[in-house]
Structure 1
Amino acid sequence: MPADSPRRRPDVDTVELIGGIEKRALSLNEYDPSWPEQFDLHRVRVSDALGATALLIEHIGSTSVPGLAAKPIIDILVVVSDITAEEDYLDQLLAAGYRLRVREPGHRLVRTEQLDVHIHLLETADPAIEDYLLLRDQLRNAPADREQYERVKRDLLSQDWPDMNSYAEAKTTVIEEIKARARQHR
């Protein structure tokens, strides 16, 4: 949201993890050509639920990168104008069958009951939007980066993680390296 646009209310200042920490089995699947089709089904579902409130709906994460092994979880980025205005999007997504998992400053996450789709909600102008798309596009277009990323993910999966968030945080260094190379090539 532009700095001169007021929010309806202050954002949350803590991380609320609905259901607490979850230890889940983590594995990588070889790229599945049905992942874009699965994204399309949820893109329509989200679009039908939110209408014009969804300013952008993009397939992100490893399942959006042809040829990249991934956890079989479709990550979707949805941009809204005001993350604090949950009345504009949250009840609609819950009614469409998604469940709230994370409420944190600048970010909400809803997911399917089957835990196979994660919808990340951000507000306009959040720098994370560009970061998600930059990483996705670099992995799609740079085979060496895609191979490095997959190698790191496989190495990390050999460890025991208390939850998916810990695993995700462990990938930060390689993600930042890949995004830096992408920025250099612009």
Structure 2
Amino acid sequence: MTRNRKPRRPDVTAVELIGGPEKLEIRLHDYDDRWPAQYREHRGRILDVLATANVEVEHIGSTSVPGLAAKPIIDILVMVDDITAEEDYLDGLLAAGYELRTREPRHRLVRTPARDVHVHVYERGDPAVDEYLLLRDYLRSDAKDRALYERTKRTLLSRGWDDMNDYADAKTEVILAIKARARTARGL
């Protein structure tokens, strides 16, 4: 969807976290050569169930960066034409075995029951899409910032976290600095 088209209906205005906050033990694993294959398997599943929905699918997050230690959770980005038209994509994802975890403005998150795959759904053209891809592509090409990001994650994970969202928020400052360098490297 181009940003000029009107969505079918208004988007949600608050965060709905299905199941509430979850305590989860988070551990980093060294990069696993199996992660790309796991991504491709889920990409195929998503494209099969959304064959009529004109979606794009990308591997994002730390498991998409060769050589980077990560939580063993495959993050997948699915871009749809209209985030408010959940009937176009959500039913298919649920039928494929994913569970709805988060519904928030401009974003939906479904995941496997084992919590080892997170599927982030955004509207095509959403600025968050560019941000995910900017960070992924830069970390794939810059060993120094890749090492900084890994050190930051290891330091943060040495603390206890009651909710994975709090851990993610704690990385924000470093991620913003890395993305600023990525923009400079791209001449943006």
What TM-score range do you get, normalising by the shorter chain?
A: over 0.9
Partner of 2:31: 31
Amino acid at match of 2:123: E
Aligned to 1:185: 185
1:4 positional shift: 2.2
Q: Deviations over 1:18-73 (max 9, x none)?
A: 01100000000000000000000000000001014242100000000000000000
Q: Distance in 2 between matches of 1:104 and 1:54?
A: 22
Name the counterpart of 2:135: 135
Is residue 120 from structure 1 mapped to residue 143 from structure 2 by the alignment? no
Give the number of aligned pairs: 186
RMSD, matched Cα: 0.8
Partner of 1:58: 58
Alignment of 1:53-92 (within 5 A): 53-92=53-92
User: Does the Cα contact within 8 Å between 1:22 and 1:163 map onto a contact in 2?
Assistant: yes
Give how far 1:167 is off.
0.3
Which amino acid in the other structure matches residue 53 of structure 1? A
Structure 2 contact 161–167 (Cα < 8 Å) conserved: yes
- Contact 1:61–1:136 (8 Å) recurs in 2: yes
The one-letter code sitting in structure 1 at the alignment partner of 2:31 is Y
- 8 A contact 2:30–2:70 mirrored in 1: yes
- Cα contact 1:18–1:100 (8 A) shared by 2: yes
| Equivalent residues of 2:3, 2:125 under 8 A apart | no
Task: Give the SS at the match of 2:50.
Answer: helix
SS in structure 1 opposite 2:132? helix
Return the alpha-carbon distance in structure 2 between the equivalents of residues 24 and 104 of structure 1. 21
Q: Distance in 2 between matches of 1:4 and 1:102?
A: 26
**Structure 1 residue 22 and structure 2 residue 61: aligned?**
no
In 1, Cα distance between equivalents of 2:29 and 2:4: 44
Tell me the secondary structure at the aligned position of residue 152 of structure 1: helix
Identity %: 63
Equivalent-residue separation in structure 2 for 1:17 and 1:155 (angstroms): 27
Where does structure 1 differ by over 6 angstroms across 4 or more consecutive aligned residues? none
Structure 1 equivalent of residue 171 of structure 2: 171
8 A contact 1:47–1:54 mirrored in 2: no
- In structure 1, the partner of 2:42 is 42
Q: Secondary structure at the match of 1:63?
A: helix
TM superposition score normalised by structure 1: 0.98
Residue aligning to 1:161: 161
Q: Deviations over 1:6-26 (max 9, x none)?
A: 111000000000011000000
What amino acid sits opposite 2:131 in the alignment? Answer: D
Distance 1:4 1:37 in 2: 36
Q: Residues 95 and 134 from structure 1, CA distance in 2 versus in 1: closer, same or farther, beyond 3 angstroms?
A: same
> One-letter code of the match for 1:165?
N
